[in-house]
Amino acid sequence: MNRLKKGLIIGLSTIIVAVLFAGCGKAGTASTNTLESVKKEGVLKIGLEDSFPPMEFRDSKNQLKGFDVDMATEIGKRLGVKTQFVPTDFNGIILALKSGKFDAIISGMSITDERKKQIDFSKPYFMSGQIIIVKNGNKSITKSDNLADKTVGVELGTTGDKSSQDLDKKLKEKQSKGIKEIKKYDKATDALQDLQTGRSDAVIIDEPVGRYYVSADDKKGKYAVLSEKLTSEPMGIGFKKGDKELEESVQKSIDEMKKDGTMSKLSIKWFGTDEYKK
């Protein structure tokens, strides 16, 4: 009886361990095929932060517009589905993707090593970078070194946020005096508003967004862009880790759009120049 009991116990233990390991194996990889779900539902859900012009923003009629919006809509058409946009605060957009709130991120997101630890990216579809904006007429700030002991505004969770911290560290090492205060905002528009009202001395922001506002307010002469560029950053589309089928299908659409001139048309429409001209 003792041998029989031991045999049963060992057998049951083996089965339990095998089941547990099988479960762990599934947890470590993508358990669903997002592309399959997208095709079945007929909808591609895209997460974005809707106050980041000219990439994505609301017009005077509260309609969603922008380069990324047009690009994502075209991607949906080429996949044979409708594109649905899910506005999300940028600071929590990666977590929202991982939790399944939407299928991919198309929101002017720079590809960074830190983000690549959490999500996968398409190939770069646009080159951006961080620039410094000041109030027009401000002669005391002409380069990044002048931001020592100044108040700088950034959008929370962006590469502009990180660039400000890197600059602060650099200034402390170089001048023994860093940025006085880094003010963080939920939206880039709020950071620029505080710059205009004098609550900050400068804003570090993605180049296409910053130049859009400078261009839009050109007649009023509110802002000025410094010639110095802090970083050069490729933007990419974000996917859940291991979601290869959707990533490959979207990348194929992007490649076709570059080849047939669609991306060039969108670039001219939103930036005034063809960023894809070789």
The CATH number of residue 181's host domain is 3.40.190.10
Q: Are residues 225 and 257 in the same domain?
A: no
- Considering the domain boundaries, does residue 265 fall inside one? yes
- Considering the domain boundaries, does residue 15 fall inside one? no
One digit per residue, pLDDT tens: the chain, 278 residues?
444 444 444 444 444 444 444 444 333 344 558 999 999 999 999 999 998 889 999 999 999 999 999 999 999 999 999 999 999 999 999 999 999 999 999 999 999 999 999 999 999 999 999 999 999 999 999 999 999 999 999 999 999 999 999 999 999 999 889 999 999 999 888 999 999 999 999 999 999 888 888 887 766 678 999 999 999 999 999 999 999 999 999 999 999 999 999 999 999 999 888 989 86
Q: Are residues 167 and 218 in the same domain?
A: yes
Q: Are residues 116 and 239 in the same domain?
A: yes
Q: Are residues 124 and 181 in the same domain?
A: no
Q: Are residues 177 and 147 in the same domain?
A: yes
pLDDT digits (tens, 9 = 90+) for 156-210: 999 999 999 999 999 999 988 999 999 999 988 899 999 999 999 999 999 988 8
Q: Are residues 172 and 134 in the same domain?
A: yes
- Considering the domain boundaries, does residue 76 fall inside one? yes
Q: Are residues 207 and 258 in the same domain?
A: no
- Considering the domain boundaries, does residue 28 fall inside one? no
Instruction: Note the pLDDT of residue 69.
Output: 98
Total structural domains within the chain: 2
Q: Are residues 134 and 124 in the same domain?
A: no
Query: In angstroms, rounded to a whole number, what is the distance separating the alpha carbons of residues 15 and 6?
Result: 14
pLDDT digits (tens, 9 = 90+) for 116-134: 999 999 999 999 999 999 9
Q: Are residues 168 and 86 in the same domain?
A: no
Instruction: Note the pLDDT of residue 219.
Output: 62
- 56 Cβ neighbours under 8 A, 6+ residues apart: 48, 49, 50, 64, 65, 66, 67, 68, 69, 107, 108
Instruction: Note the pLDDT of residue 176.
Output: 87
Q: Are residues 259 and 216 in the same domain?
A: no
Q: Are residues 171 and 251 in the same domain?
A: no
Nearest CA to 75 among 237, 275, 267? 237
Instruction: Note the pLDDT of residue 28.
Output: 38
Range of the domain at 178: 130-231
- Considering the domain boundaries, does residue 23 fall inside one? no
Q: Are residues 64 and 190 in the same domain?
A: no
pTM (2 d.p.): 0.77
CA-angle at 220, arms to 214 and 224, nearest 5°: 35
